[in-house]
């Protein structure tokens, strides 16, 4: 397939790409609660109508992944196109001038929750599979398409897909999260910690009889104020960050609090394993305990997704850049992103190279008035189509 053909096929399918994106937006799947099965069914029907296989994998009541496969010639490992079916909830509807589930078209933009993150990306990948099938394309390796449930919370669908052997034989993964059709090859990890301090209640008029867990938490916050998860500076991701997210303690002014909790959102870069970072935090708490016999604290990991990155000289990255060059004469310079994706669950050991490329705008994810541009949807479809056609070629 030539770049001209890929561009033409995507352009001619522009109404169909728009219609599929609208159908996905008009089938709400806010998570929580995440009732993604209805969206999975829209995709299943689309694949079946195009003569592709389609399988719903039910995981919980109303929750499912959808998987489709376009068989290849067996001359290259499989290529995985991956996305997620759920969205964050719409939030304050007053902040929207468009119906979050309307899929309204205005000035070349499709509005709705999930338009950017990432029903637009899912539609573009699905349409690339459909167009490849219609064009009679047999790729060098199988194309596997998966859209998962639960990405916005616990990555339920990605865990299930991986544990069912979904990555067996896969040699590359393309995730259609919003990148404004730029090339992202590294993402930060997320390590969320909950620290709890313990004390002893007493009447507020006799504080010396109690142990104040909030004052103990004050010590924790001071000890962690300058905490750096690692010294590494990644060329694309920069440095790790720490954000103190929540702070809770006490329930009544006249009661000495016996418990306080704080949660920390750390965004990490490749290098230091998360277990080592947790140990460093524990070390600081141990030092406080050594200096204060009444100090008692506990640290708990509440989210643990490693940073994952593909080297810029991997063939998959070179191929993506060549496809961008041949389609639009554009150099897709590899970049890094702060957000995490299902890649952290699918590829935690970094053994399978991946990149992120999608038509959505990263800045619009989780925002009111979320939209995706039709032009970007069509461009992304052409990209996924040509990338598939060239998969297995030396780039």
Binding site for Zn ion (CB under 5 A): 117-118, 177
Residues 6+ apart with CB under 8 A from 26: 101, 102, 103, 112
> Which is nearer to Zn ion, 117 or 379 (by Cβ)?
117
Q: Which is nearer to Zn ion, 160 or 365 (CB)?
A: 365
CA distance 89 to 28: 9
C-beta closer to Zn ion: residue 32 or 273: 32
Nearest residue to 86 (alpha-carbon basis) of 27, 42, 44:
27
Measured from the CB atom, the residue of 210 and 368 that comes closer to Zn ion is: 368
From the CB of 109, what's the least distance to Zn ion, in Å? 19
Q: Quick check: 234 and 309 in contact, CB under 8 A? A: yes
Structure tokens at 368: 């009111």
β partners of residue 356 = 175, 184
The CB-of-337 to Zn ion minimum distance in angstroms stands at 11
Number of Cα atoms under 13 Å in the Cβ half of residue 169: 14
Judged on CB neighbours under 10 Å (0-12, 13-18, 19+), 165 is exposed
CB 255 within 8 A of CB 212: no
- In this complex, which beta carbon is closest to Zn ion, that of residue 150 or of residue 306? 150
Q: Are 42 and 24 in contact (CB under 8 A)?
A: yes
Spell out the residues 6+ positions from residue 341 whose beta carbon is closer than 8 angstroms to its own: 151, 175, 177, 187, 356
The least CB distance from residue 246 to Zn ion, in Å, is: 23
Handedness of CA 149, 153, 156, 162 (dihedral sign): positive
**Residue 94 exposed, middle or buried by CB count within 10 Å (0-12, 13-18, 19+):** exposed
In the bound state, the residue with its beta carbon closest to Zn ion is: 117
SS3 content of the chain, % helix, strand, coil (to 5): 35, 25, 40
345, two tokens:
């669950």
Which CB, 171 or 348, lies closer to Zn ion? 348
Query: Least distance to Zn ion from the beta carbon of 280, Å?
Result: 30
Which one, 177 or 187, has the nearer CB to Zn ion?
A: 177
Q: How far is the CB of 378 from Zn ion (least distance, A)?
A: 21
Nearer to Zn ion, 176 or 327 (CB): 176
Shortest CB 112 distance to Zn ion, Å:
14
Provide, rounded to whole angstroms, the least separation between the CB of residue 190 and Zn ion.
Answer: 13
For Zn ion, the closer CB: 259 or 366: 366
Q: How far is the CB of 371 from Zn ion (least distance, A)?
A: 15
Give the shortest CB-89-to-Zn ion separation in angstroms: 14
Token pair, residue 226, equals 């300058």
- The whole-angstrom separation of Cα 64 and Cα 263 is 31
**Tokens 């989210």 belong to which residue?**
303
Q: How far is CA 96 from CA 70, 86, 232, in A?
A: 39, 19, 41
Shortest Å distance, C-beta 117 to Zn ion: 4
Residue 119 or 284: the one with the smaller Cβ distance to Zn ion is 119
């Amino acid at each position: 397939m030539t770049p001209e053909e890929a561009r033409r096929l995507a352009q001619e399918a522009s109404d169909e790409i728009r219609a599929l994106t609208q159908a996905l937006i008009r089938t709400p799947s806010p998570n929580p609660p995440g009732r993604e099965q209805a969206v999975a069914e829209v995709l299943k029907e689309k694949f079946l109508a195009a003569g592709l296989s389609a399988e719903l994998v039910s995981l919980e009541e109303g929750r499912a992944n959808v998987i489709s496969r376009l068989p290849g010639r067996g001359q290259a490992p499989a290529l995985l196109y991956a996305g997620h079916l759920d969205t964050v909830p719409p939030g304050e509807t007053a902040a929207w001038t468009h119906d979050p589930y309307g899929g309204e078209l205005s000035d070349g933009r499709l509005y709705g929750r999930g338009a950017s993150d990432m029903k637009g990306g899912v539609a573009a990948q699905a349409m690339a599979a459909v167009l490849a099938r219609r064009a009679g394309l047999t790729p060098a390796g199988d194309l596997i398409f998966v859209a998962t449930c639960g990405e916005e919370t616990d990555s339920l669908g990605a865990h299930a897909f991986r544990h069912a052997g979904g990555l067996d034989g896969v040699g590359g993964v393309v995730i259609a999260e919003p990148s404004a059709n730029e090339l992202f090859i590294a993402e930060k990890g997320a390590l969320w910690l909950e620290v709890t301090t313990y004390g002893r209640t007493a009447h507020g008029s006799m504080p010396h009889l109690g142990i104040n867990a909030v004052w103990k938490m004050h010590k924790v916050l001071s000890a962690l104020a300058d905490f750096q998860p690692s010294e590494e500076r990644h060329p694309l991701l920069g440095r790790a960050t720490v954000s103190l997210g929540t702070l809770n303690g006490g329930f009544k002014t006249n009661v000495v609090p016996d418990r306080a909790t704080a949660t920390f959102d750390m965004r990490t870069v490749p290098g230091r394993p998360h277990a080592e970072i947790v140990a460093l935090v524990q070390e600081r708490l141990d030092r406080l305990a050594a200096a204060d016999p009444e100090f008692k604290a506990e640290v708990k990991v509440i989210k643990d997704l490693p940073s994952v990155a593909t080297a810029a000289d991997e063939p998959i990255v070179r191929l993506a850049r060549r496809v961008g060059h041949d389609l639009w004469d554009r150099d897709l310079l590899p970049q890094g992103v702060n957000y995490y994706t299902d890649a952290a669950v699918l590829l935690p050991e970094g053994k399978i190279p991946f990149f992120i490329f999608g038509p959505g705008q990263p800045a619009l994810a989780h925002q009111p008035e979320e939209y995706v541009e039709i032009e970007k949807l069509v461009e992304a479809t052409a990209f996924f189509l040509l990338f598939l056609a060239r998969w297995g070629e030396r780039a």
